[in-house]
């Protein structure tokens, strides 16, 4: 099934930043994930597609350090890894942006940007936030990502959902993430907003990061993705490079593939009913 093999010229360019091969995860006797493989390379976007309950969140949690895999191998830059906490994942350069957990709405943008890693100056009891540098850095880093904020002092909650997502991405990039894991970044956004977020995802890729984009929207995935892994009920239903698959095929597989065809046949056969309820046609 897997077509992204070692013989592929693109993978020979270097060791993947993150590689999962044949990874499984069980919750008691429930198979949450079985035999899933995924490669993340610097400057590429690997998309993980799947319906609700396909195992996307389990996959993220393994990469983000919230859960450990039970079988298979998980390597970071060629080294076998088993992450015990999100902090450890961060220390190894893996930043995860969750859609609902990204920011503290009432805090100004610049305070959010540096939250948890605030730079200070001064010594001892006079150690204090370098607020001026924080404001300036926030402004310039966001500008670099193409976000022009009116005022970095405004509460981040006053930004649109897309802008908030972008600030979270810019923050991860600034703090030296090598791998960026994005959990459904466009799920709650409108068409235009999604476009904006996808542009920043591409900007992160161009900055040399490896990106894992989790989504259930094949159209969004195909716009920016280099590799596509399809999950279905915890197993891998397909793994493709962009050159090998067209959007229609990706959408078809995503939508259920052969199941959808069968449904379409059934619907055709069911067409032209004799009557629809209580008013028989003559």
Contact 185, 197 (CB under 8 A): yes
Q: By C-alpha distance, which of 74, 86, 60 is closest to 181?
A: 60
Q: Using CB under 8 A, pick the residue from 3, 68, 84, 160 that binds another protein.
A: 160
Beta bridge partners of 183: 214
The residue to which tokens 């915890």 are assigned: 234
Verify binding: residue 78, another protein, rule CB under 8 A.
no
Site for another protein in 171-200 (CB under 8 A): 188-193, 196, 199
CA gap 95, 81 in Å, rounded: 15
Verify binding: residue 103, another protein, rule CB under 8 A.
yes
Task: Tell me, letter by letter, the H, E, C secondary structure of 7-29.
Answer: CCCCHHHCCCCEEEEEEEEEECC
* Max Cα–Cα distance, the chain, nearest Å: 92
Which one of 52-60, 104-112, 226-234, 274-282 is the stretch in contact with another protein (CB under 8 A)?
104-112
Verify binding: residue 146, another protein, rule CB under 8 A.
yes
Which one of 45-53, 149-157, 231-239, 255-263 is the stretch in contact with another protein (CB under 8 A)?
149-157
Structure tokens belonging to residue 173: 């990039």
Q: By C-alpha distance, which of 149, 162, 43 is closest to 103?
A: 162
CB of 5 or CB of 52, closer to another protein: 52
Give the residue ranges of DSSP H helices in 183-231.
Answer: 191-206, 218-224
CB of 100 or CB of 266, closer to another protein: 100
Contact 85, 249 (CB under 8 A): no
Which one of 5-13, 37-45, 73-81, 160-168 is the stretch in contact with another protein (CB under 8 A)?
160-168
Q: Using CB under 8 A, pick the residue from 14, 53, 78, 105 that binds another protein.
A: 105
Provide CB contacts within 8 A for 28, sequence distance 6+.
none
CB of 147 or CB of 212, closer to another protein: 147
Structure tokens belonging to residue 36: 């899933």
- Show the binding pattern over residues 216-255: x = contacts another protein (CB under 8 A), - = does not: ----------------------------------------
Q: Using CB under 8 A, pick the residue from 15, 158, 217, 235 that binds another protein.
A: 158
Catalog residues that contact another protein under the rule CB under 8 A.
86-87, 90, 96, 98-107, 111, 114-118, 120, 127-129, 131, 139, 143, 146-148, 150-151, 154-155, 157-158, 160-164, 188-193, 196, 199
């Amino acid at each position: 099934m897997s077509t992204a093999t070692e013989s592929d010229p693109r993978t020979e360019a270097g060791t993947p930043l993150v590689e999962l091969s044949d990874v499984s995860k069980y919750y008691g006797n429930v198979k949450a994930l079985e035999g899933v493989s995924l490669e993340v390379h610097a400057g590429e976007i690997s998309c993980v597609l799947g319906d609700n309950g396909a195992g996307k969140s389990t996959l993220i949690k393994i990469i983000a350090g919230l859960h450990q895999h039970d079988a298979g191998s998980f390597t970071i830059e060629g080294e076998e890894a088993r992450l015990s906490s999100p902090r450890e994942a961060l220390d190894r350069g893996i930043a995860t942006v969750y859609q609902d957990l990204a920011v503290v709405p009432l805090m100004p943008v610049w305070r959010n940007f540096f939250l948890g890693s605030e730079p200070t100056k001064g010594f001892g009891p006079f150690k204090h936030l370098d607020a001026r540098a924080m404001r300036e850095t926030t402004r310039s880093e966001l500008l670099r990502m193409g976000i022009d904020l009116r005022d970095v002092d405004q509460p981040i909650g006053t930004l649109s959902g897309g802008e908030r997502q972008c600030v979270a991405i810019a923050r991860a990039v600034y703090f030296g993430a090598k791998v960026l894991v994005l959990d459904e970044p466009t799920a709650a956004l409108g068409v235009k907003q999604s476009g904006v977020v996808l542009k920043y995802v591409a900007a992160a890729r161009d900055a040399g990061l490896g990106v894992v984009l989790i989504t259930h929207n094949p159209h969004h995935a195909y716009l920016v993705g280099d590799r596509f892994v399809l999950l279905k009920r915890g197993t891998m239903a397909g793994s493709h490079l962009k050159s090998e698959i067209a959007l229609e095929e990706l959408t078809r597989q995503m939508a259920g593939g052969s199941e959808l065809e069968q449904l379409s046949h059934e619907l055709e056969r069911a067409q032209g009913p004799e009557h629809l309820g209580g008013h028989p046609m003559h």
